[in-house]
Structure 1
Amino acid sequence: MRHVVVMAGTGAIGLMAVFAVDLLNLFYISRLRDPALTAAVGFTGAVGYVQIAVSIGMSIGLGAVTARQIGAGRHARARRIASSFLLVMVAATAALGLATALWAAPILHLFGATGRAAEQAEHYIRIVSPALSLIAVGMGCSSLLRAVGDARRSMNVTLIGAVAAAALDPLLIFALHLGLEGAAISTILSRTVVAGLGFLAARRHGLLALPCARYILHDARLVGGVAMPAILTNLATPIGGLFVTHAMATFGLAAVAGQATIDRIVPVTFAFVFALTGSVGPIMSQNLGAGHLARVHETLVTSLKLVAACVAVTWLILLPAQNLVVAAFAAHGTQAALIRLFCTWTVGGYLFIGMLFVANTAFNNLGFPLYSTLFNWGRATLGTVPFVWVGMRFGPSGVQVGQVLGCVLVGSWAMLTAFGVIGRLKPGPVAPGLAAELPARTAKSALAELDELDEEQQIADDLSADRPARA
């Protein structure tokens, strides 16, 4: 419990600072009293979640694989893998950012953006998207710091970047009268700070070196085995959000603004839950690598308890404070109604979303990444589309309720499956007389097989690379 609380708590402080800046951006823009700008923030957030989902998925793969190597005592190989894959992350996110900037208009059309709100959102995306690699580097390095247990520096990387953004936002938005463009420039500058600090901190731990060209493809495949399912898993959330945003857009800009406000309140109020999913992954991976299966199970149980506590505390705070939240964002009409519904009832549904997140972390770090892909896409499709479609008959409030109800089913099923996965890693009960004839397959033996395959592939790559020199 102490280990999980320390890792998740420090991560939550950093994440809360980052998400608080996004919330402040919305707060500052809402004070301009322009509904089109407020709705534009909602549309840019929906597009940005897709980009961030890719970066998060890659950082999950990087942290899981390096943590397993560190847990097994192979620090040199962990450094080599981290260096290779960070280069791959930069190249992949740079391509994604440029593609998003080029096709910003048709992408926003998919989300239901029209008129001046679409124009403002497109301008913001064209400024921010080409710098996507900066946040990818920051996330990757933060994941590496958690893999070695340096929770304080991992927190400081995001915290200092958030402080920089918080200082620049009012200056650029109000003092220089740049509006949404000022928020975009502030985002780029803060991401630059996060990337620089993360890189320096990872280098201090000896986690990064000059990538070796002959190992880049091999290491990319190794991390990609976890990263690709994690990317697909994380993409499911913004894809499901696309349908929700489009549904809200049918009820006007006020409904989109209300959804945008909630989307930025959630990461701040549930920062601990989001940080928990990133923090317990390396803990599970290290203990799996060391063969301590009881600690893997204990980590999952502890995480579930902490999720429940976090949701309960948040609910107790938001319920009496809902009028203050509405006033802070100058909300009225549909926007205010959606905020009140969230603070009163639907906030409780995030218990099941947190259960889904924790379960996905277990799947990604215990060798079952396809399970996380299955459950997240199940939530984005069967757990979102039919519920929201029915909810649309009752207006924007029905959309919000439908979105939460789908998560109840998927989150519960995912958590039960996670306990089943951990149960499969333990030796199964056998009759005493058959114990010698039926040796149980343990997580340690499974891990040994994976490492053996990894070694064979590495030897083959070495021989292939050395053949010209020997000739």
Structure 2
Amino acid sequence: MSNKTKSPDLLSAPIPKTIRDMTIPMIFGMVTLMLFNLVDTFFVSLLGTDPLAAISFTFPVTFTVISLAIGLSIGTSAIIAKALGAGNLEEARFDGAVALIVSALFVSVLAFIGYIYIDPIFSLLGAKQDLMPFIYDYMHVWFIGSIFLITPMIGNAVLRASGDTKTPSIIMGSAGLINAILDPIFIFGLGPIPAMGIKGAAIASVIAWAVGVFLILYLLIIKKNLLSLNSKNQTFILATKKMLKIGLPAAGANMLTPIAMGIMTAIVASHGAEAVAAFGVGSRIESISSIVVLALSMTLPPFISQNFGAGKFNRVAMAYKTTLKFILIWQFALYLLLIVFSGVIANIFASSEGVVSVIKLFIWILPLGYGLQGVIILSNSSFNALHKPMNALFMSVIRLFVFYVPLAYLGSLYWGIHGLFIGALIGNVFTAIISYRWFCQTLQSIESNEQIKVCEA
């Protein structure tokens, strides 16, 4: 590849420093995007209860499309990073171009179906007729503009596969900033631009995504020369199959989480409204506490895939172990911090003494397992990096529907809300052990000629 595509050397550079340098920009990008999404929700909330309720109903639908996009981006990153690690630069460029085209087609078809069936979809979700006009206004624009959502996501996956995580973080942050600036303008109006209400929020998002499309295509085609539709050794169909083999199971695994959380919420609801309110706060605490884990789940796979493609299995094992050790220490330190400030946190989010006490209970129990949850998430992303997507999918099923939800339910039956949280914690313990051992065995079987056990502690 030319100097225009120069990227971090994932095949020989020191492992801890390389992963750290890749992860820090991703953390910045994710935090920036999260803050701007909160701003988005804030502006919609100023329109009143009905628009806010309407946009809440859109989350399961938009998350379905986004889950597909995330899954396809995981598949894209895995196949391109492996090709780069093996030195197949032409294959990597071709795979990237095909991934962009195929992903756009998939999302377009899904969005078209959603657009046509807005009424039955949202009626099934329980939306009342008085909310439907708001939902129409938002989703008509969102579905049409979703083609602009997928391109930056896939393009960022191509960049991460080459070891570049700074550029994706800048693009993520820029899109979030544009969205935050345009939100009040299109929602409430400014000068010649009329107030468009909830439709304005969707238009602001689509414009931000469109800017992301321009930036990512300029970078991939002009600046970095990472895309090409010329290949002597493979066809469009073959490249598509490679990407979908990993991307579709990864998308399915992403979709399992909201299903499981819905079931968990129903279980929590049996303990009253205060428990539900506290669990909602706890879920927000969990999402914020998992930022480093999620950032690593985007940066570790390209490292693993490139070294997998190059046959450097010891570097794969060392990166996997080093990352897990770090995340266990990091999340435990975070747990201690949450314990110290549990009272302050609880009182920020709630005024009811009952809700405050349940939030404190949540903080004392569940965050203790966030490091183990990190082991599970990073093992899953590493399975995808080794082109073992079904392992990752099965691991998600085992975690959520064999251990996490069932043990939480059993704990809830016998020991109330205390038992529910402890059961969920124990579920993470069992799943973390299984995921670690399974990944080690998988890596060992792939490199069967290796004389040492690459995952031995």
Q: How high is the TM-score relative to the length of structure 2?
A: 0.80
The DSSP-based 3-state class of the residue aligned with 1:345 is helix
Aligned letter for 1:92? F
Query: Residue in 2 aligned with 1:156?
Result: 170
Identify which of 310, 315, 318 aligns with 2:330: 310
Query: Residue in 2 aligned with 1:292?
Result: 312
Pairwise CA RMSD: 3.8
Shift of 1:62: 0.7
Shift of 1:9: 1.5
Give yes or no for the alignment of 1:188 onto 2:206: yes
The DSSP-based 3-state class of the residue aligned with 2:29 is helix
Give yes or no for the alignment of 1:410 onto 2:431: yes
Aligned letter for 1:87? I
Query: Residue in 1 aligned with 2:104?
Result: 90
For the 8 Å contact 1:86–1:140, the answer to whether it is kept is yes
Query: Residue in 2 aligned with 1:434?
Result: none
CA distance in 2, matches of 1:197, 1:75: 22
Give yes or no for the alignment of 1:67 onto 2:54: no
Aligned letter for 1:345? I
Matches within 5 A, 1:155-234: 155-172=169-186, 180-203=198-221, 204-210=223-229, 215-234=235-254
CA distance in 2, matches of 1:350, 1:91: 37
* Count of residues in Structure 1 that have an aligned counterpart in Structure 2: 432
Shift of 1:133: 2.6
Superposed CA offset, 1:201-227 (max 9, x none): 222211123578993222101222222
CA distance in 1, matches of 2:409, 2:311: 46
Aligned letter for 1:422? L
Shift of 1:251: 7.8
Superposed CA offset, 1:360-416 (max 9, x none): 122112132211010112223223442454466588887666555433322331122
For the 8 Å contact 2:365–2:421, the answer to whether it is kept is no
Query: Residue in 1 aligned with 2:385?
Result: 365
For the 8 Å contact 1:137–1:195, the answer to whether it is kept is yes
CA distance in 2, matches of 1:323, 1:76: 56
Give yes or no for the alignment of 1:15 onto 2:30: yes
Aligned letter for 2:211? V
Give yes or no for the alignment of 1:270 onto 2:284: no
Matches within 5 A, 1:18-167: 18-27=33-42, 34=49, 42-104=56-118, 106-108=120-122, 124-167=138-181
Query: Residue in 1 aligned with 2:406?
Result: 386
CA distance in 2, matches of 1:11, 1:168: 24
For the 8 Å contact 2:28–2:169, the answer to whether it is kept is yes
For the 8 Å contact 1:70–1:78, the answer to whether it is kept is yes
Aligned letter for 1:9? I
CA distance in 1, matches of 2:43, 2:281: 12
Change in 2 beyond 3 A, CA 1:218/1:429: closer
Identify which of 416, 419, 434 aligns with 2:440: 419
Shift of 1:198: 2.2
CA distance in 2, matches of 1:254, 1:37: 25
CA distance in 2, matches of 1:166, 1:296: 39
Tell me which moved more, 376-385 or 71-80.
376-385
Give yes or no for the alignment of 1:6 onto 2:24: no
For the 8 Å contact 2:395–2:435, the answer to whether it is kept is yes
For the 8 Å contact 1:31–1:330, the answer to whether it is kept is no
For the 8 Å contact 2:307–2:315, the answer to whether it is kept is yes
Structure 1: any 5+ residue segments left out of the alignment?
A: 431-439, 443-471
The DSSP-based 3-state class of the residue aligned with 1:209 is coil
